[in-house]
Structure 1
């Protein structure tokens, strides 16, 4: 069991080494020219993954799902907006709202895992790296079936959009550890399905079309002009 679980947590890295075309005596290193920069980039990538909890962790473009695309575009728009401006603050509010919604889902899963006795292992079980691949899954069919059951028979996810693919990989781990059925039973008991009206609670649903339209408007320059006008009257 230990070796099987370890495979789920490993991330494959491929470093392409380009040799020097000149026949110099100096040997070229087998790592990137600046190892510190490379590792800092990897650390930042993992920090970004844990912060944004991408619904499609294996999609580097963050464009396959509408919710990932909305969050990614908000982040890109904020990077192009002057810090401290009205536009920057508005974007930050929208970004944190989306992140909070994703953290709420993750916290529910963590609560169930801890209740099952996985106090120390919960965070590791819930970690999904950008290198996650469907090809490495052991129980893909069963995991997808269980994900749909959780989506329709519990309130772990919003019923208005498909469940995030990242939890497919987590369920595959739970199936391998033979605790998936126990997890499903706990989820049904702790988080029974809601009525549609209950999902109007702030933080449980994000108006993705509105956010995308807002980002497109900012990319057009209208919102940025307004933020620049207001910026002189505000301090960070």
Structure 2
């Protein structure tokens, strides 16, 4: 098992590096004019990915899925809002609510992987870069079938929206390591399906249509410190 994982890591790193080089060759000189700036930018991109855990990591516009679009809109709205204002604090609460929801899903995956013996490798297996491409997957159909099964037969994801595409790439890795079926069995045992009434996660449920509408209205409005911001109309997330 250890040699298979090591081989996977080497191939994964090579593919990521090759993809990054292909994307950058036509846009960047072979030697960046400011290597430190380039390094800082790459570090920031990776930090952003790990912080936001984009549901569709290969979408740089963050607009293909409603939840990605909502989170991105919140981040952009907060960037335009004066720090410390009522609006800024409200946006920060909702941004963290969305991030917490995504971290909770990731933590479920990590728990299962660690239970399977991948204590040291879990974080690496769960890391998906923005350059992830379906073309580089080894067994996309089987990975998608497993993702559908996890979504319909476990509570590892919310049943109210499609499962995040980022986990398709992770399942492809698990298939390569020949542990995907073991992972599925553990997921069914640890996180059996729940009734809709049991699926509520207080404080973390996101009303995406309302959130998107409110952020769009905020982007077209004025200063968040005006009287409108001080009305007790609740946060953008659904805190039922």
Q: TM-score normalised to the size of structure 2?
A: 0.87
3-state DSSP class of the match of 2:163?
A: coil
Please name the residue that 1:219 is paired with.
Answer: 219
**CA separation of 1:187/1:40 partners in 2, compared to 1, >3 Å: closer, same or farther?**
same
Aligned pair 1:42/2:29, yes or no? no
Output the CA distance in 1 between the equivalents of 2:43 and 2:229.
37
1:13 aligns with 20
Separation of aligned partners in 2, 1:214 and 1:167 = 29
- Where do 1:1-236 residues align within 5 Å? 1=4, 2-10=6-14, 11=16, 12-14=19-21, 15-16=24-25, 30-222=30-222, 224=224, 226=226
For structure 1, the residue ranges without an aligned partner over 5 or more in a row are 20-28, 231-236
Gaps of 5+ in 2: 231-240
CA contact (8 A) 1:128 1:169 kept: yes
Bigger CA drift: 31-40 or 74-83?
Answer: 31-40
Specify whether residues 8 and 158 from structure 1 end up closer, same or farther in structure 2 by C-alpha distance, changes over 3 A only. same
Measure the CA separation in 2 of the matches of 1:79 and 1:130. Answer: 22
The alpha carbon displacement at 1:4 in A equals 3.1
User: 1:185/1:216 Cα in 2 relative to 1: closer, same or farther (>3 Å)?
Assistant: same
CA deviations on 1:123-146 (whole Å, 9 max, x unpaired) are 000000001110010110000000
- Distance in 1 (alpha carbons) for counterparts of 2:104 and 2:173: 21
Q: Matched residues in 1 for 2:84 and 2:227: separation?
A: 9
Q: Hey, what's the Cα distance between the residues in 1 that align with 2:185 and 2:82?
A: 48
Q: Structure 1-normalised TM-score?
A: 0.88
Of 213-222 and 164-173, more deviation after overlay is shown by: 213-222
Question: 1:109 is paired with a residue of what secondary structure?
Answer: helix
- In angstroms, what is the RMSD of aligned CA positions? 2.0
Query: Which one has the largest radius of gyration?
Result: 1
CA distance in 2, matches of 1:79, 1:169: 31
| 1:18 CA displacement | 8.1
Q: CA deviation at 1:228?
A: 9.3
Deviation at residue 165 of structure 1 after TM alignment: 0.2
Offset at residue 30 of structure 1 (A): 3.2
Q: Are the aligned partners of 1:217 and 1:223 in contact in 2 as well (CA < 8 Å)? A: no
How far has the Cα of 1:202 moved from its partner?
1.5
Q: Is the 8 A contact 1:85 1:227 kept in 2?
A: no
Tell me by how many angstroms 1:149 deviates.
0.1
Judge conservation of contact 1:144–1:168 (CA < 8 Å) in 2: yes
What count of residue pairs does the alignment treat as equivalent?
221
